[in-house]
Structure 1
Amino acid sequence: MFLGSIFTSVWTDRLWFKSVDYSGVFTTVLVTRTVLFVVMGVLFGAFVVGNVYLAWRLRPSGLPARNDDPAARYRQTLGPIIRPVLIVLGVVLTAFAGSVAASHWDTYQMWAHGTSFGQKDPQFHKDIGFYVFDYPWLRFLTSFSFAMIVIAVLATVFMHYVFGGIRFAGRGPSFTRAAQVHLSILIGIGVLLRALSYWLDRFGLAVGSSSLFDGIGYTDAHARIPARNILIGIAIVCALLLFAAAVIRSWVLPAISLGLLLLTSILIGGIWPFVMQSFQVKPSEPDKEGPYIARNIEATRDAYGVADTKVEQYTAKTSLTPSELTKSAESRVSTRLLDPTLIAPAFEQLQQVRGYYTVQDTLDVDRYKLDGTNQPQDIIIAAREINLDGLQDSQRNWANDHTVYTHGYGVIAARGNKRGSQGEPVWVEKDIPPVGDLKLTTPPRIYFGEKTPSYSIVGQPKGKAPVEVDIPRGGESGDDPKANATQNTYDGKGGVPIGNVFNKLLYTFKFAEPNIFLSSRVNSSSKILYDRQPRDRVKKVAPWLTVDGDTYPAVVDGRVVWIVDAYTTSNSYPYSQHSSLREATDDTLTQGQSQAALPTDQVNYMRNSVKAVVDAYDGTVKLYQWDTKDPVLKTWMKVFPDVVTPKSEIKQSLMEHLRYPVDLFKVQRYILREYHVTDAQTFYEGGERWKVPEDPAGSSSSLQPPYYLTVARPGETDPKFSLTTVYLPNSRQNLASFVSVNSEATSSDYGTMQILQLPSDTQLDGPSQIANRFSSDKGVTQALLQFRQSDAQVLNGNLLTLPVGDGLLYVQPVYIRRSAAEGTYPVLQFVAATFGEDVGFGQTLDEALRVALGLEPGSAPTDDSGAAPPPSSGDDTGDSKAKTTSQYLADASKAYNDAQDALKKGDLATYQSKINQMNDLIEKAQDALKK
């Protein structure tokens, strides 16, 4: 059964890789693992068993059977069965060691095909490729060999003891000549391996971690590395003395040398560095560690791809003139208001069509050229996927789950910056069959997606009626799925043929499902589709890549495809700071979700080297080279030739939908909290460290995610699709900086990261403070009161930060969900905005911003200077001195009545403006009363 399960797993993997045209990957990995298993496992097992057998052959003859000898009982037991015991021991050790070695197939391949980085580390002057490719494999070989020696020594000592080569009598153990020679040679080899380990330890310091920074520090350079050099020499001398013990009949010199090695490792390897660190480095740590901190900063910024980040001092002003407001209209018009985390229920309820379709809980942001223009616009897009949980209980059976409801259909897309008259999305692609602007030219069936069933069996012979539900029509009809839909038969090239008896049996065992073998639905034309999630397919065909957690659908050349960003990573880049991918990418959107798992969670080098595309219909996987300079990718392209397609072959139609990956940006954001500082002294002091703000709309411990937005950065005239985030000072809540990276793959400065750093004395509110201001503003509170008092639910959307007019604008969409009953969904009703001190609230961003700036809704500049007219305060004469307290209160009352009239009409902009006037007039009335 065990061997059968292994065969089933391997053979079905072979069939799967063949179906996606990646047989070379399967063969390379299988051959490498097999060779390592056999060679390393047999070497380990043969070495240990050979030494045990040698100890048995060297046993002294004619040992007397003494009752007080505890070894006699073992001797009597093992003697008759020694050969079977040795065979079993050899098999067990071979299997164990071979499995360990096979799991390091990728480490071996990187060592065998390593590529030069063209950069040398500042301490040992070795190419960085030595640390990334050579060091891990050499370290594994050393550890593997040392473990082999240790087990061999222990097993040999036991065998010599049992069969009389070692006896305990008098003051200590006594050895036969054969046992002494045997053990001295074994231990000598082990000490030589320890010398090799000391040599590697020096390089390990360059990729090691410490409490202050990663890499070699002052104590490492001046104590630990010299100590390792001394220990190498002592270990070699000790090994030579042990070998000499094979000639001379004395353990004195070897014992002295081993004691000297142990004592030296404690004094020189432990105490000396401790004393230097405590009494020489700590009192002057900034000065001593300064040059090494500088190395760490430079290496870390290089390793994470943030060395070219542009940091600009930015004094964000908090007011705009009407002229500036008009000039900034283009960037504001393109601002995405639909929140991908809240709008999914609206997509489902309005475009689900049938209960067995669904979309992801968090939708995706992409951009398309609409309305015949060349300017891409932000849209929210989702694939309409199959959802078996949406079927009625009476419809749930094996045939329906795996042969009838096999695929989703089409995509749903809405404009990111517009809302319908009732707050609903404005569609650019909808319905089944699809209607819209995305130009789907082929049947957009979704057989491969993020919510597809574990497996489906598809395909029918010619002339046989199709059974797969395809395009829904008419009304629901209960138990009969065919009554309300047309049927289709899959004709794509994806999937594994299971028409023959052998393949049926294989997949019957693989999925533990006898219906696969017994059902008449499985015929000579059948294929089985499995491993259908795009991320899983990419990880399977390229196991050396780390896959981004955010996969998104796109319409490219009329077909629906999934775009997957993939990374090459390492944890052996010298001097670079290690970080946890899971910790760095954790935010509101990933709470409770399983993120991309790394070969090791700790990395200190990361590149977005591959853009992968998975066809939603036939599951075809295409890997495109993206980072043409990455040595790690070049190494893997040597291991798997012809697997990665050159970047030059990416079509323009696909290039338009590629974007800067979100997980890479999160990791870079995590690193730049500290490493935006490039001065070693400032870095050590830690006063300029930043933090990522908590998400005002999430739980108290979740971080605000980055947002894809189309914005015009300062100094740029055209808005660009960007990935954005903000930072706070480490112990405060006001804003420290705004960060954006150009996410347009077709742009010449794609990937250029810009940090707009605010002066330390600037008190511009951060996201939590802005959210608090929105929730406590009188105008906003009164406008939402009617909803909160009813059964409606008020949902705050993502809080966006936008650079506008040399300042920073905060925008938050507000959604209303009428009730928690089935079939309801959030609708975008209002927009809150602030630019400076005042809050604006309206049904559009333009209305909200004008109110926030104290401008009448729809007002425009009236003079050439562009100066803003003074905000209306209800004072028609303009002579504030002529008014009394009672007149101010009368005007305030009128403004309040006007506000209530506007609220009844649904004119939120006028309502907010009048409320602000009322508040100003009340303050003036108070001032007049004091006078």
Structure 2
Amino acid sequence: MKSIKQKIGIIFIGLGLLIILSFNKLITLITDLIWFDSIGYQQVLLTRISTKLLIFIPLAIVLTLLFRHFFKHLYMYHYSKINQEEIPFNTNKIKKWLTYGSVLLGIFLSSVMSNLLWLDFLKFINRFSFGIQDPVYSLDISFYVFVLPFFKAALFIVLILLTLMVIFSLLIEILLFRGSYSRDFYVDFFRQSAHLISGIFLAFAGIFFTRIFDLLYSARGVAFGASYTDTHVTLWALLLYSILALVSALLIWIAHKKASFKLMSIGPIALIGCWVVLSLSGFVVQKLVVEPDEITKETQYIEHNIAYTQIAYNLNAVDLIEFPYEENLTLDTINANNETIKNIRINDSRPLLQTFNQIQSIRLYYNFNNIDIDRYMINDEYTQVFITARELDQYKLDNKAMTWINQYLKYTHGYGIVMAPVNKVTNEGQPELLFKNIPPTTNTDLTITRPEIYFGEQNESYIIVNTDEKEFDYPSGSDNVETTYSADTGIKLTGFNKFLFSIKEGSLKLLVSNNIQKDSRIILKRNILDRVKSIAPFLSYDSNPYIVVNQDDGKLYWIIDAYTTTRYYPYSQSYSFEEQGINYIRNSVKVVIDAYDGSTDFYIFDEEDPIIKTYASIFNGLFKSKAELPVGLDAHIRYPQDYFDLQANVYQKYHVNNPVVFYNGEDIWDLATEKYMDNVQTIQSNYVMFKIDEKAEFALILPYTPKGKPNMTSLLVARNDGEHYGEVFLYRFPKNKTVQGPIMIESRIDQDSVISPQFTLWGQQGSSVLRGNVIVVPIENSLLYVEPIYIQSDNADSLPEMKRVIIAYGDKIVMEQNLKLGLEKLFGSNSQPSQENDTVSELLNQIQSQFDETQRKLDDLKKTIDLLEQQINP
């Protein structure tokens, strides 16, 4: 009876230790289940957990039995050789500890393996075909993306397990022989480990065979992918290695039976010898056969690399459009493209962000994280705008106000947005605001019905709503307006939930606070990127989420672009994206998050992508069709800059289809450069509105120049509007004409006899001249270049002011106070004072423009006189 009680006690002690050791993981698992259920995605987490268990449970049983058998075999073999008097434990205790060790080792390794294999396993069994075969083995690309990674991982795990067992055997032999490495030591070790070593060579046979397919990612040749030497030497060498590894496994097994070291060594020695000879052969073939006639030998492989790289980055869909560049713009042409002209950006997001944070943050604890560009129908006009969300940064609260109640119950959300047109500034050089202040005010027909921002880019901590403590809503004069959260988002803090989440968040106050009542809810993962990565970590996410005012319901939403990627696309060149190497990408998903209630929806925007089809098959209910996108949001879907920039980077080299031209590097492009602020930089992609078919469209552009030259050779364009969303094309400029690149415009600015001295003058008067982006605007068959100029005082609290706009066209370049004056100087005015049909409004506008220009010249004259006086009377 005492023995039974002891066993029961040991079982309870073991269970207690297991619970203690896994307590944090258990709490995390339970709270994750509750959270996923609260947002409607519990099935996503259950799929992940059930798959891990499906792998873990049988693997744990198999590994436990395997290790138990292995340790038992070792023990039984060595038992007769051990001096029994030297063993401090009796035989039964040793057997028990071996059993416990086998169980623990089996559980640990199974846990690690299930975490490594679960997603690869699901992709393997749910895979969709790409409908494209590789050019060497004629296998569907899905084999490389979904099948091969799973088998390679499985082979690697088998190799690790067998190697561990061999190491255990070796350690036991070393302990038994106590450093005496005689022939008996090696014979004993070989007898016990021969079957394991044989298994290792079987695993190596599989690894060598899978490396045959890895040749399609080879970097040996002049282009990425299998080269001439890879297909004519390395491929056959790997096949031979695989066969020799199989033979080695068989010979080791036979040698074990005959206790023959010579027989055991034949296979490994032959394998090593072949590796030396064939590696040398590969080097000789590369140097003596391929390199003297490289272009002939590698042509077909270069063609493979070009074709599959273009497909992998969706560059095969880029349309080429010849742009018949002319310098024939007139006043009539400008008037005919009024929608383009009135949406030319004369402001810049980076100085604008500083301005917004000073003039519109209202309170210290509000912050604008970044500024995005979008387009809206405003007062029946298609208008390009800057837009940013006013988020609440709790860490900017006064130190005395950083109480637990203020952080988690009181200051819970940001409020409203700021919006400004891209083409207008005030006389002081500050942006004209379409949306401003708290509560948001506007003189447009846009409305915001729900300005509170509970979910955003800066919301790192949890909050608790519906408590006895009213939430701070927004400041109103010297008072504060308070509110109560009205959505049913979050998890009720009743019963056991309160205990669980107090442990999860490490907060005793959450457990004991009297402010928390029966209807109180905890809201988690309010940072939108953290939120989507928690739900779908297998996707990659854009670095720039953007806020949208839905003109249909007046609510604020965040939109995040999500990507499917892989590094296993054969023959496709690898590039860095989001700090990882990839060679295939699709912008397959748009994620929409309600800024108030946090509801998160994943919409598939590329239904042809096999990877997203596979994920949709795995995670039933996670993805929705783009047809289900809420009404009003479709007008704000953007072609993402991260994706476009990567494509543009790849296209610098892979716009070439001719393998000889590609080999010689004759037609490589550079991304254009510009002077930005006070540095020269690679130009960034820009959202620009211009007429593409019959009307102005919101497009993303990036100019190219020939390698090492400043002139512009082409313009890459991605369309964003309506049914044309996602179409990418290239305006290719004539080779017999010089089309100015942005840096050429910058050089002309520096050399202009009017503009350059003015910059120098401003810079000598306690101010800095800051240069914005050069915006290239296609108009008809011509190009207009626009660059905003900022003046910022050297005072620490000064704001950058947009004071001038530089416009370049053809061989003309002007700098004026605004775009209208600059265009009038280049192309003439629409109206003259002497015309009888001038309206009063037009005349007043003209008078105002002339007055502003006169005032500017008087200001400049005064500054010059002051400078002269300083020189005369220092």
Verify same fold: TM over 0.5. Answer: yes
**In the TM superposition, what are the counterparts of 1:459-538 in structure 2 within 5 Å?**
459-460=466-467, 467-475=470-478, 484-500=479-495, 502-538=496-532
1:567: which partner in 2?
563
The letter for the 2-side match of 1:156 is S
Q: How far apart are 1:762 and its partner, in Å?
A: 4.6
Secondary structure of the equivalent of 1:802? strand
Counterpart check, 1:544 vs 2:541: no
SS in structure 2 of the partner of residue 16 of structure 1: helix
Corresponding position of 2:136: 123
Map residues 76-155 of structure 1 onto 2, 5 A cutoff: 81=94, 83-84=96-97, 87-88=100-101, 91-92=104-105, 94-96=107-109, 98-155=111-168
Match of 2:846 in 1: none
The CA distance in 2 between the partners of 1:391 and 1:534, in whole Å, is 22
SS of equivalent residue, structure 2 residue 662? helix
Which of 187, 190, 196 matches 1:175?
A: 187
Structure 2: runs of 5 or more not aligned: 1-19, 835-848, 862-874
What pairs up with 1:157-176 in 2 under 5 angstroms? 157-160=170-173, 162-163=175-176, 168-169=181-182, 173=185, 175=187
Q: Which runs of 5+ in 1 are unaligned?
A: 66-71, 476-483, 583-596, 863-898, 912-931
Corresponding residue for 1:683? 662
The equivalent of 1:239 in structure 2 is 249
CA–CA distance in structure 2, aligned partners of residues 397 and 9 of structure 1: 26
CA distance in 2, matches of 1:17, 1:839: 59
* CA distance in 1 between partners of 2:83 and 2:800 (Å): 91
Once the two structures are TM-superposed, the CA of residue 36 in structure 1 deviates from its matched residue by 3.2
Distance 1:439 1:633 in 2: 35
What SS does structure 2 have at the residue aligned with 1:553? strand
**Distance in 1 between the 2:250 and 2:324 partners?**
70
Q: Distance in 2 between matches of 1:530 and 1:703?
A: 40
For residue 156 of structure 1, what is the aligned residue in structure 2? Answer: 169
CA distance in 1, matches of 2:438, 2:164: 67
Separation in 1 of the partners of 2:126 and 2:497? 36
Q: Which residue of 1 aligns with 2:788?
A: 813
Counterpart contact for 1:117–1:127, Cα < 8 Å: yes
Letter in 2 for 1:198: F
Provide closer, same or farther for how the CA distance between residues 237 and 26 of structure 1 changes in structure 2, counting only shifts above 3 A: same
* Residues 288-309 of structure 1: per-residue CA shift (max 9 Å, x gap): 1110111111111111111021
| Distance (whole Å) between structure 2 residues aligned to residue 496 and residue 236 of structure 1 | 57
Quickly say closer, same or farther: Cα 1:751–1:859, change in 2 above 3 A: same
SS in 1 for 2:790: strand
TM-score of the pair, normalised by structure 2: 0.88
Q: Indicate the larger mover: 433-442 or 160-169.
A: 160-169
- Distance in 2 (CA, whole Å) between partners of 1:146 and 1:62 is 30
Task: Report matched runs for 1:762-777 at 5 Å.
Answer: 762-777=737-752
CA distance in 2, matches of 1:695, 1:506: 55
Residue among 692, 698, 705 paired with 1:721: 698
Which sits farther off after the overlay, 251-260 or 503-512?
Answer: 503-512
Amino acid corresponding to residue 167 of structure 2 in structure 1? L
8 Å contact 1:553–1:561 — kept in the other structure?
A: yes
| CA displacement 1:385-424 (0-9 Å, x = unmatched) | 1133443343332221221111111222111222234333
Deviation of 1:271 (Å): 1.8
Q: For 1:629-683, what per-residue CA distance to the aligned partner results, in whole angstroms no more than 9, with x for missing partners?
A: 1110111111111110112222441111111111111110111111011111111
The 1:700–1:413 alpha-carbon spacing in structure 2 relative to 1, beyond 3 Å, is: closer
Q: Deviations over 1:465-486 (max 9, x none)?
A: x5111132122xxxxxxxx112
Pick aligned residue for 1:290 from 278, 299, 308: 299
Q: CA distance change for structure 1 residues 910 and 838 in 2, over 3 Å: closer, same or farther?
A: farther
Q: In structure 2, what is the Cα distance between the partners aligned to 1:686 and 1:731? A: 12
Quote the offset at 1:99 in angstroms: 1.7
Report if aligned partners of 1:165, 1:175 keep a CA contact under 8 Å in 2.
no
Distance across 2 between alignment mates of 1:814 and 1:212? 45
Number of the residue aligned with 2:317: 308
Q: 1:403 to 1:174 in 2, by over 3 A?
A: closer
Which residue in 2 is equivalent to 1:223? Answer: 233
State the Cα distance separating 1:453 from its structure 2 match. Answer: 4.6
Closer, same or farther: CA 378–115 of 1 in aligned 2, 3 Å: same
Within the candidate set 358, 362, 377, 1:353 is matched to: 362
Q: Does 1:8 align with 2:8?
A: no
Match of 1:794 in 2: 769
Q: How does 1:400-415 map to 2 (within 5 A)?
A: 400-415=406-421
Shift of 1:97: 5.3
> In 2 relative to 1, CA 403–695 (structure 1 residues): closer, same or farther, beyond 3 Å?
farther
Confirm or deny that 1:671 pairs with 2:650: yes
1:700: how far off? 5.5
Aligned-partner SS, 2:315: coil
2:801 aligned residue: 827
Structure 1 position 129, deviation (Å): 0.6
Aligned CA distance change for structure 1 residues 528 and 223 (closer, same or farther; 3 Å): same
1:630 aligns with 2:601: no
Partner deviation per Cα, 1:198-227 (whole Å, 9 max, x = no partner): 211111111344463222111111111111
Between stretches 115-124 and 12-21, larger displacement belongs to: 12-21
1:264-315 deviation per Cα after TM superposition (whole angstroms, max 9, x unaligned): 12222x2222111111111111111110111111111111111021233445
AA paired with 2:294? E
Q: 1 CA distance for matches of 2:450 and 2:110? A: 51
TM-score (norm 1): 0.83
Q: Deviations over 1:752-810 (max 9, x none)?
A: 21222335565444333322432443322344566434444433222211222423222
Which is worse superposed, 446-455 or 667-676?
A: 446-455
- Rounded to whole Å, the distance in 1 between the matches of 2:179 and 2:433 is 86
Q: Is the 8 A contact 1:840 1:850 kept in 2?
A: no
| Residue of structure 2 equivalent to 1:927 | none
Over residues 154-195 of structure 1, what are the superposed CA-to-partner deviations in whole Å (9 max), with x where a residue is unaligned?
22233355457998436x75525xx65543322222212211
Query: SS of the residue aligned with 1:543?
Result: coil
Q: Which residue of 2 aligns with 1:579?
A: 575
Cα contact 2:339–2:690 (8 A) shared by 1: no
**Any conservation in 2 of the 1:63–1:164 contact (CA below 8 Å)?**
no
Match of 2:76 among 57, 60, 64: 57
| Letter in structure 1 aligned against 2:510 | I
Alignment counterpart, residue 454 of structure 2, candidates 422, 428, 447: 447
Amino acid corresponding to residue 371 of structure 2 in structure 1:
L
Matched residue SS, 1:678: coil
Do the aligned residues in 1 keep the contact of 2:448 with 2:556 (CA within 8 Å)?
Answer: no
**Cα offset, 1:900, TM superposition:** 13
Q: Is the 1:60–1:164 Cα contact (8 Å) retained in structure 2?
A: no
Q: 1:731 aligns with which of 694, 705, 708?
A: 708
Deviations 1:40-59, CA, capped at 9 Å, x for gaps = 45544553453233122122
Q: Give the 3 Å change call, closer, same or farther, for CA 77–847 of structure 1 in structure 2.
A: farther
Distance (whole Å) between structure 1 residues aligned to residue 858 and residue 720 of structure 2: 34
From 363, 367, 373, the equivalent of 2:371 is 363
**Match of 1:111, as an amino acid?**
F
Tell me the equivalent position of 2:13.
none
Q: Separation in 1 of the partners of 2:487 and 2:747?
A: 53
1:818 CA displacement: 4.7
Alpha-carbon distance, 1:90 to partner: 5.2
Structure 2: distance between partners of 1:623 and 1:155: 49
